[in-house]
Chains A and B, each alone.
Chain A
Amino acid sequence: MNYLLGAFKPACNVSITFSDGKNRKQVPMKKENGQTALVPLFHSQDTISGKVCIDPYQGKKVEHNGVKVELLGQIEMYFDRGNFYDFTSLVRELDVPGEIYERKTYPFEFPTVEMPYETYNGVNVRLRYVLKVTVTRGYSGSILEYQELVVRNYAPLPDINNSIKMEVGIEDCLHIEFEYNKSKYHLKDVILGKIYFLLVRIKMKNMDLEIRRRESTGAGANTHVETETLAKFELMDGTPVRGESIPVRLFLAPYDLTPTHRNINNKYSVKYYLNLVLVDEEDRRYFKQQEITLYRLKEDTSS
């Protein structure tokens, strides 16, 4: 029986540790089962190095056809489940075929890895980086171990950052002019602006500013578009009169935002919009959507 049981159990314990694991920043990441786990954070051009440790269970030996570690960048479309698309794949062979009787450690290193895309966890699509250790075995299936990574890339301050200014309206009913101070915001930025009321002939209940994320996946006829409202921020309560100007000050920090992603590997795009919504007393909604670009600014080292 023992033998039998042992046959179904993995013969060894595989673990991956990073050489700078103690110092590396860790960020929370939502796993598939809904729990969050802390995952080490990397940036593009980082060197990913560490050790793979294979520790056979007591009195067992591991026969294998080789040990390798891979760094994979994958895009996974949920509607096309199980179909990964690896846009990055680096391999290090760690061991030639043989047998392992006792704990064995293999160092590995991927120097200055190009990781052009950020980790992203969307509604229909997921982009992830993962270290995959494979202990290849011929007859009883390979032993696999994964280690997730989070990759975030900083963007420089944009050269051109115009404000968004626009006059919109419904004839003889409502005319407003709105202004947001920029068109590109970093993730901890503050949106400042003003809404001028040029003509008000309807009775309003409130005015909100929404941040919407539009995720489009696939291409051509297969495009799936998913829009989520991430923030709903009330700007105004009640009906203003002509000539009023309502201030806008929206802190982005509290919301779970990502940078804008455009056409990542021809697979998906993530765009953000500011949606100004006016609700009248009969709950009709008047809105105007404006795209904004979000980017990740290198944070102060202190914070």
Chain B
Amino acid sequence: MLSSIRLRCSASYGLRSYHLTNMRAFDELRKLEIFFMEETRRGCSVIELYELVQHAGNILPRLYLLCTAGSVYIKTKEAPAKEILKDLVEMCRGIQHPLRGLFLRSYLAQISRDKLPDIGSEYEGDADTVTDAVEFVLLNFTEMNKLWVRMQHQGPARDKERREKERGELRDLVGKNLHVLSQLEGVDLDMYRDTVLPRVLEQIVNCRDEIAQYYLIDCIIQVFPDEYHLQTLDVLLGACPQLQPSVDIMTVLSRLMERLSNYAALNAEVLPYFLQVEAFSKLNNAIGKVIEAQEDMPILSAVTLYSSLLKFTLHVHPDRLDYADQVLGSCVKQLSGKGKINDTRATREIVSLLSAPLEKYNDVVIALKLTNYPLVVEYLDNETKRIMATVIIRSIMKNNTLITTAEKVEALLELIKGLINDLDEPQGLEVDEDDFEEEQNSVARLVHMLYNDDTEEMFKIISILKKHFLTGGPKRLKFTIPPLVVSTLKLIRRLPVEGDNPFGKEASVTATKIFQFLNQIIEALPNVPSPDLAFRLYLQCAEAANKCDEEPIAYEFFTQAYILYEEEISDSKAQVTALQLIIGTLQRMHVFGVENRDTLTHKATGYSAKLLKKPDQCRAVYACSHLFWLEDHETIQDGDRVLLCLKRALKIANSAQQMGSNGQGSAGSVTLFIEILNKYLYFYEKGIPQITVESVESLIQLIKNEESMPSDPYAESLFASTLQFMEFQKQKGGAIGDRYEEIKV
């Protein structure tokens, strides 16, 4: 059994196989321990045994045996555990070879684990107190750490990487000691604060080894309870600036803060303690010091630290907005003088830093209160600013946050400037079209979240929006103007009807003013290549003006729309659609006086006749007929002109048919006839005297004749359903039924 151990010290193994051999040896040693135990039960003196094993000439087997015998010795309780433990840990100094020493001491730690004179342990006695147990573990820990650190400095420099890897594999051996400490019942807060932590930290700081410092600090944070950390925060943090500059302190601190915030989140009752120990200011100071101490700390680390701190304070002191602002302020200070950040990971960190308050409060308004918030945003590159802005907007949309004051809107726009303006960036990389559209759409959505019941405030908001949007450049206007217009129109609708102001207050926001404002906005559009959009918006505005009884304004809007139609809309299909829109809108207008209306309708019919394709012409013309007959407005009931329009439509349909018969058949024109018939019926039903029974009948006859020719199913079914409709109206009876009764088919 012993030969296997002896074998081990003579051969030099690779780390892995050494590890394996060790594991096997540990097993063997356990058997040996049992054997020793039996021996002592048989009457062999354990003291003699303890001496006997020390006769071995080779140190490594000797010490393994000694540890094993020591374990038996403690079990027999023939001597105070503390004496034996002290002796063992002292004797183990003989192994200065890092790897072998680590394993030996880890064996010592393993066998002694259940034999420490902890509170409540059977080995606790008058002479053995938990202090001794702690002392022992600390000593062993210190020695192990020294050995572990020393590994770094042995062997040729070219093996550095391999060595670091090996050390990484061994670190748990060292860390286990801390774990043992944390498991000791007797290590209460006082013990931890007064003995354990200072000693461990001293060792960590003094070892000046980056791997060890990083791992062990992290170990401390992970193995000891949160409340200990909370109460010893300043001690723990005090050690941080003393670590080697290369230590990844940010990860360590982030984890600490993460733990503490989780702790706070899970146990609401501990929050007072956080206040009591001034956790925030301590952390804040510590971070400041760390950053100061590590001059060439990458910006990423600094930002990560602040990000964690911010998350921490958000969790722990959700009510202390000033803390959050303070964090951002420190962050700004750190970033200043570094220019824009180029490191992508750092940028990502900043985004997460900035997102944290949004996520926490679910309310962008609170973020707007943080004065340093926009300052941090400043340091992002344009790309990221855009991303950040999208995040903000998404948050607003998700939570349906209404932003109600002009001031906040101003601040918000400042934040999302990246989306609204072309930033002064070199036009190097083009933004993806789809992304751009996506972003602008979200801005458009955002517009609707800016809302105030008070019209004046609302107008201010809108004015601010306009100011910002108009600087946005042609590409954006297309997206931003429509929601703005819509929003403005909404506002108009809410305006008190003029003269209906019970308080006699002079409303500073008048419809006229707003319309002027609208005009200005829309004017911007034709400059960019989206006349179509401008055209529609003009019509919208005209309609709104109509509602407000603002004739000149409405007329103006229409004029603008017509101009656009004439000058900008050249595509025939677009023209058709545009014309339909004009007709539809115009039909509903009632503010116009006769003269204005005539001008406009005349113009509209004129446009209709000038369309390129006959069917389009025909359809536009018969649509125009509606312009002359408004049911509710006596003033606009001109049967002659309705008839004129319809006749004109018929004429066009005819000529279309003739052209068609030369060409590809007349199927299309039949459809036109039927459609015109429908118009006839409509007006006939309305009782326009100029639409006579005869004219309807003759039209039906005409269609029937045409029907005999090869036709298309669409026309057939259309005609059939028209006839069916007539039949239906007849059945209904009443005045309308009577009128239909007169039509003989």
A-to-B contact residues, CB < 8 Å: 203-204, 206, 231-241, 244-247, 249, 251, 253-254
- CB pair B150–A241 under 8 Å, yes or no, is yes
Given A237-B100, A238-B101, A247 and B93 touching (CB < 8 A)? yes
Chain A residue numbers with a CB within 8 Å of B54 are 249, 251
5 contacts between A and B (CB under 8 A): A235-B59, A236-B95, A237-B59, A237-B94, A244-B96
Asked if A232 meets B57 with Cβ closer than 8 Å, knowing A246-B94, A247-B93, A251-B51, the reply is: yes
Assuming the contacts A237-B9, A241-B146, asked whether A247 and B94 have C-beta atoms less than 8 A apart, the reply is yes
- Whether A231 lies near B57 (C-beta < 8 A) is yes
Q: Residues of B contacting A234 with CB < 8 Å?
A: 57-60, 62, 94
Q: Once bound together, how far apart are the Cα atoms of A236 and B98, in whole Å? A: 12
Name B135-184 residues within 8 Å CB distance of A.
Answer: 146, 150, 154
A236 touching B59, Cβ below 8 Å: yes
Cβ-based interface call for B97 (8 A): yes
Residues of A within 8 A of B98 (CB): 238
Assembly CA distance A52 to B699 (angstroms): 171
Residue of A nearest to B54 (CB): A251
Is B90 an interface position by the 8 A CB rule? yes
Q: Chain B residues near A247: list those with CB within 8 A.
A: 90-91, 93-94
Task: Report which of A232, A245, A251 forms a contact with B93, defined as CB distance below 8 A.
Answer: A245
| B42 adjacent to chain A (CB < 8 Å) | no
The contact string, 1 if C-beta is below 8 Å from chain A, for chain B 73-113, is 00000000000000000110111111011000000000000
Is A249 in contact with B146, judged by CB distance below 8 angstroms?
no
Q: Are A238 and B57 in touch, CB under 8 angstroms?
A: no
A236-B57 contact in complex given A247-B91, A249-B91, A251-B51, C-beta closer than 8 Å: no
Cβ-closest chain B residue relative to A248 = B94
Closest to A197 in B: B96
Query: Which B residues are CB-close (under 8 A) to A241?
Result: 96, 146, 150
Decide if A246 touches B57 in the complex (CB within 8 Å). no
In Å, the complex CA distance between A249 and B62 comes to: 11
Residues of B contacting A237 in the complex (Cβ-Cβ under 8 angstroms): 9, 59-60, 94-97, 100-101
Which chain A residue shows the least CB distance to B147?
A238
Please, which residue of chain B has its CB at the minimum distance from the CB of A232? B57
**Given A204-B96, A234-B94, 6 more contacts at CB 8 Å?**
A234-B57, A236-B59, A237-B9, A245-B93, A247-B93, A253-B55
With most chain A CB atoms within 10 A of its CB, the pick from B58, B59, B146 is B59
User: Which of A234, A240, A253, A254 is packed against the most chain B CB atoms within 10 Å?
Assistant: A234
Contacts of B51 in A (CB 8 A): 251
Is A239 a contact partner of B59 (Cβ separation < 8 A)? no
Complex CA distance for A235 and B54, rounded to whole angstroms: 11
In the complex, the 6 A-B pairs of residues with the closest C-beta atoms, listed nearest first: A238-B97, A238-B96, A234-B59, A240-B96, A254-B55, A237-B97
Bound: A234/B154 CA distance, A: 22
Chain B residue nearest to A205 (CB atoms) is B97
State the interface size on chain B (CB cutoff 8 A). Answer: 22
Hey, which chain A residues are within 8 Å of B154, CB to CB?
203, 239
Contact of A236 among B90, B94, B150 (CB under 8 A): B94
Are B90 and A233 in contact (CB-based, < 8 A)?
A: no
Chain B residues near A249: list those with CB within 8 A.
54, 91
Q: Which residues of chain B come closer than 8 Å to A204, judged between CB atoms?
A: 96
A247→B96 CA distance, assembly (Å): 12
Q: Which residue of A lies closest to B92 (CB)?
A: A247
Bound-state CA distance A241–B101 (Å) is 13
Contact of A246 among B9, B62, B93 (CB under 8 A): B93
Enumerate chain A residues within 8 angstroms of B60, measured Cβ to Cβ. 234, 237
CA distance A236 to B95 in the complex (A): 5
Interface membership of chain B positions 27-58, coded 1 if the CB is closer than 8 angstroms to chain A and 0 otherwise: 00000000000000000000000010011011
In whole Å, how far is A135's beta carbon from the nearest beta carbon of chain B? Answer: 48
A-side contacts of B58, CB under 8 Å: 234
- A206 to chain B: closest residue by CB: B59
Residues of chain A within 8 A of B90, CB atoms compared: 247
CB distance from A149 to the nearest CB of B (A): 30
Within the complex, what minimum Cβ distance (angstroms) separates B73 from chain A?
15
A206, B95: Cα distance in complex, Å = 9
CB distance from B89 to the nearest CB of A (A): 11
Contact of A233 among B57, B93, B97 (CB under 8 A): B57
Q: B654-669 interface mask toward A, CB cutoff 8 Å, 1 = contact, 0 = none? A: 0000000000000000
Among B55, B94, B101, B146, chain A packs the most CB atoms within 10 A around the CB of B94
Docked Cα-Cα span, A112 to B101, in Å, equals 57
Contact of B94 among A203, A231, A235, A239 (CB under 8 A): A235
CA of A251 to CA of B55 in the docked complex: distance in angstroms?
Answer: 6
> Bound state CA distance, A238 and B96, in angstroms?
5
A249 to B55, CA, bound (A): 10
Query: CA A239 – CA B154 in complex, angstroms?
Result: 9
Q: Are A244 and B57 in contact (CB under 8 A)?
A: no
Residues of A close to B97: CB separation below 8 A: 237-239
Query: In whole angstroms, how far apart are the Cα atoms of A241 and B93 in the complex?
Result: 12
C-alpha gap A240/B154 in the complex (Å): 11
C-alpha gap A204/B154 in the complex (Å): 11
Measured CA separation A236–B9 after assembly (Å): 12
Chain A: minimal CB distance from B104 (Å): 9
Closest B residue to A249 by beta carbon equals B54
A6 and B296 alpha carbons, distance in the complex (Å): 108
Q: How far is the CA of A299 from the CA of B530 in the complex (A)?
A: 116
> How distant is the Cα of A235 from the Cα of B97 in the complex, in angstroms?
12
| Shortest distance from the beta carbon of B107 to any chain A beta carbon, whole Å | 15
Contacts of B100 in A (CB 8 A): 237-238
Contact A238–B91 (Cβ < 8 Å): no
Residues of A close to B57: CB separation below 8 A: 231-234
How far in angstroms is the closest Cβ of chain A from B639?
A: 114
Residue of B nearest to A235 (CB): B94
Taken together as a complex, chains A and B put the C-alpha atoms of A234 and B9 apart, in Å, by 12
> Could you tell me the distance between the alpha carbons of A166 and B448 in the complex, rounded to whole angstroms?
90
Q: What separation, in Å, do the CA atoms of A7 and B575 have in the docked complex?
A: 159
In the complex, what residue of chain B is closest to A245 when comparing beta carbons? B93
Q: Compute how far the CA of A237 lies from the CA of B97 in the bound complex, rounded to whole angstroms.
A: 6
Instruction: Report yes or no: A246 in contact with B55, Cβ–Cβ below 8 A.
Output: no
A206–B62 alpha-carbon span in the complex (Å):
14
Minimal beta-carbon separation of B45 from chain A (angstroms) = 12
Chain B min CB distance to A192 (Å) = 11
Contact status A236-B96, CB under 8 Å? yes
Q: Which residues of A contact B93 (CB under 8 A)?
A: 244-247
Assembled-state Cα–Cα distance A251/B101 (Å):
23
Measured in the bound complex, the distance between the Cα atoms of B90 and A206 in whole Å is 18
Nearest opposing residue in chain A for B90, CB measure:
A247
Report the separation of the CA atoms of residues A232 and B96 in the bound assembly, to the nearest whole angstrom: 19
Q: Which residues of A contact B55 (CB under 8 A)?
A: 251, 253-254
Per-residue CB contact flags for chain B residues 606-631 toward chain A (1 = under 8 Å, else 0) read 00000000000000000000000000
Chain A proximity of B696: nearest CB distance (Å): 115
In the docked arrangement, what's the CA distance between A234 and B57, Å? 6
- Give the nearest-CB partner of B146 in chain A: A241
Min CB–CB distance A245 → chain B (angstroms): 7
B572 smallest CB distance to A (angstroms): 92
C-alpha spacing A203/B51, complex, angstroms: 31
A128 to chain B, nearest CB (A): 30
Shortest CB–CB separation between residue A112 and chain B, in angstroms? Answer: 37
Q: B421 to chain A: closest CB distance in Å?
A: 62
By the criterion CB–CB under 8 Å, are A239 and B91 in contact?
no
Instruction: Give, as a whole number of angstroms, the nearest-CB distance from A195 to chain B.
Output: 10
A34 to chain B, nearest CB (A): 25
Within the complex, what minimum Cβ distance (angstroms) separates A241 from chain B?
6
What is the distance, in angstroms, from B340's C-beta to the closest C-beta of chain A? 47
> What are the residues of chain A within 8 A of B94 when measuring CB–CB?
234-237, 246-247
Complexed CA–CA distance, A231 and B51 (Å)? 17
In chain A, what residue has the closest Cβ to B104?
A237
Write the nearest CB–CB distance from A179 to chain B, whole angstroms: 15
Q: In the assembled complex, how far is the CB of residue A276 from the closest CB belonging to chain B, in whole angstroms? A: 14
Contacts of A239 in B (CB 8 A): 96-97, 154
* A204→B94 CA distance, assembly (Å): 13
Instruction: Give every chain B residue within 8 A of A238 (Cβ-Cβ).
Output: 95-98, 100-101
Cα–Cα distance between A244 and B98 once the two chains are bound (Å) = 13
Measured in the bound complex, the distance between the Cα atoms of B56 and A249 in whole Å is 11
